[in-house]
Amino acid sequence: MKRVDTMNDTQVTLFNTGLPMMVIGILAVVVPRLLVQKATRSHLVVAIGMILACVTMAVLSAGVFFLFDNRSYETLIGAGGYVLALEFLIEASWKAVILWAPLILLTWLSLAQRVERLRGQDLAERNSL
Q: Look at the alpha carbons of 4, 5, 9, 12 in this order and tell me if their dihedral is positive or negative.
A: negative
> Mean pLDDT in each 10-residue stretch from start to end of the chain (129 residues)?
49 80 95 95 96 95 82 66 77 89 96 96 89
Strands in the chain per DSSP E: none
Report the pLDDT value the prediction gives residue 75, as an integer from 0 to 100: 66
Please state the pTM of the whole predicted model: 0.79
Report the pLDDT value the prediction gives residue 59, as an integer from 0 to 100: 92
Question: How many Cα atoms sit within 13 Å of 126 on the Cβ side?
Answer: 6
Asked if residues 49 and 111 have their Cβ atoms less than 8 Å apart, the reply is yes
| 111: amino acid identity, one letter | L
Largest CA distance in the chain: 86
